Amino acid sequence: MSRAVLERDVNESGKVPFHVSLPTAAMWDHEPKCQALMREAMVWCQQVTGHDPKHSCMFGDILEMLPGSLAEYSTYESKLAMTKSWSLKRSCKCMSHGAFCSPFKPSCIDVSGLPCPDFSRAGLQRGRHGPTIPVYMTHGRWAKESRTPLLLVECTPDLDIDMLQDCHPGYSWHQMYSEPGDFGFSATARKRTWVIGSNDNRNICRADPYELLDEIKIAMKDVHVRVRDYLVASEAEVHMEALRVANLKRMDNFRPGIDPMSLLLNLREVQTMSELNQKYHSRTGFPAKTDRDLAYFLGDSATYCSWSAASGKLPTYRLTQGRFWLPAVQRWLTSKERLCSMGYPVVKEMSLGMGQVPLVGAVDPEKAAERLGNAMHFTTSGIFQCIALSCFGPQ
């Protein structure tokens, strides 16, 4: 989606002497829910760029490309050697076309959020010996066979870059780090590494990606937001989220707008909230409700102090469930507001800022929460695609 905005902006800017056209050739996701969201995203992109989504293939698990199972190989080395010796299947089940399509489409850039649980500090940190590494191996094999000129990989900063190189022979890697605050979203914590892989046989480096990143950071250094800026949900939307939870809890008598939303929290959440209120008060001397930029992540116990008090940032979103409580307004951050903090154009001000793109549907809280899942930060993703495509070109 961010690439669609990028493509349109570059074409409208007149700054390049050619027309940029980067339609999505194929997508992969093993989660059926995510596949449905990607289909919606493609329709959104069509409204921005005009590219017909009918031409994009949608595949499931990338491991389906392997001709066998890696389960019987126990070590990293044996799995890697096996993947490199195998030829990938020439066709996979495509959900877009209801047929078996070739996953080897000509394209100039591949953007992948490869799995991070094996590296993430919140995960088991099994690194290259972890269960998700075959995805990297298969991705590397696919990149080699499809001769994709540019790869862009987003992952947690603890990514094992040597493993990435092992799995992708023939590519030179350029690793950068970023967080949403580099591009104005200073109240969102989401440190990530973005790694550009340039195909040694097809590309040359035309400009220094690190310098370009620094220039963009400098250009945006005066743009800042606070947690309160993310509170964009209307009263009706807040009530709708409250009612949905009340229904799930069978609290039929709950009156949104009259009864406090804290009634909808579970006992553990209430306990965390009250302990954090006390901690905040003893540290600052002020009641928590006076801080309009204060948010607590109620998914952790109060011992961890997962709050915005120290950094001014919303604690990093995770796949695990958990509400972000806002003491000043006595409610939780809605799904729409979480999407807003991730750069998605959910309100007309954000849509206008992106040059009048269609709004991303975020009124339905369940759908918004699904969309968020483990999403990349919208603006950051667009900027790194811009850096990759600007700094590398055909030989």
User: From the CB of 3, what's the least distance to Zn ion, in Å?
Assistant: 20
Paired strand residues for 331: 326
User: Alpha-carbon distance 110 to 22, whole Å?
Assistant: 11
SS3 state of residue 83: helix
Which one, 99 or 124, has the nearer CB to Zn ion?
99
User: From the CB of 164, what's the least distance to Zn ion, in Å?
Assistant: 28
Paired strand residues for 177: 193
Which one, 36 or 216, has the nearer CB to Zn ion?
36
User: From the CB of 11, what's the least distance to Zn ion, in Å?
Assistant: 27
111, 381 in Cβ contact below 8 A?
yes
User: From the CB of 391, what's the least distance to Zn ion, in Å?
Assistant: 31
Which one, 96 or 334, has the nearer CB to Zn ion?
96
Backbone torsions φ then ψ of 290, nearest 5 degrees = -85, -10
Q: How far is CA 291 from CA 49, 284, 296, 300, 328, in A?
A: 42, 10, 12, 20, 6
- Which position has the token pair 């009918």? 54
User: From the CB of 203, what's the least distance to Zn ion, in Å?
Assistant: 27
Residues 347-376 that bind Zn ion (CB under 5 A): none
By CB under 5 A, the count of residues binding Zn ion is 5
User: Alpha-carbon distance 30 to 132, whole Å?
Assistant: 13
User: From the CB of 96, what's the least distance to Zn ion, in Å?
Assistant: 5
11, 20 in Cβ contact below 8 A?
yes
Residues 59-118 that bind Zn ion (CB under 5 A): 94, 96-97, 101
Q: Which stretch binds Zn ion (CB under 5 A): 50-58, 80-88, 114-122, 375-383?
A: 50-58
Which one, 96 or 341, has the nearer CB to Zn ion?
96
User: Alpha-carbon distance 150 to 110, whole Å?
Assistant: 6
User: From the CB of 105, what's the least distance to Zn ion, in Å?
Assistant: 9
Which one, 97 or 147, has the nearer CB to Zn ion?
97
User: From the CB of 37, what's the least distance to Zn ion, in Å?
Assistant: 18
Three-class SS of 263-296:
HHCCHHHHHHHHHHHHHHHHHHCCCHHHCCCCCE
Residues 254-313 that bind Zn ion (CB under 5 A): none
Sign of CA dihedral 330, 335, 340, 342: positive
Binding Zn ion (rule: CB under 5 A), the pick from 10, 34, 57, 163 is: 57
User: From the CB of 134, what's the least distance to Zn ion, in Å?
Assistant: 23
Binding mask 182-221 for Zn ion (x = CB under 5 A): ----------------------------------------
The two structure tokens encoding residue 149: 């000129």
CA nearest neighbour of 183 among 382, 368, 327 = 382
Which one, 96 or 203, has the nearer CB to Zn ion?
96
User: Alpha-carbon distance 193 to 26, whole Å?
Assistant: 23
CA nearest neighbour of 323 among 340, 307, 312 = 307
Paired strand residues for 86: none
Tell me if 42 contacts Zn ion by CB under 5 A. no
Q: Which stretch binds Zn ion (CB under 5 A): 52-60, 206-214, 269-277, 334-342?
A: 52-60
Residues 322-341 that bind Zn ion (CB under 5 A): none
> Could you please report the per-residue DSSP string of 351-365?
HHHTTSPPPPP-SSH
Which one, 105 or 292, has the nearer CB to Zn ion?
105
Binding site for Zn ion (CB under 5 A): 57, 94, 96-97, 101
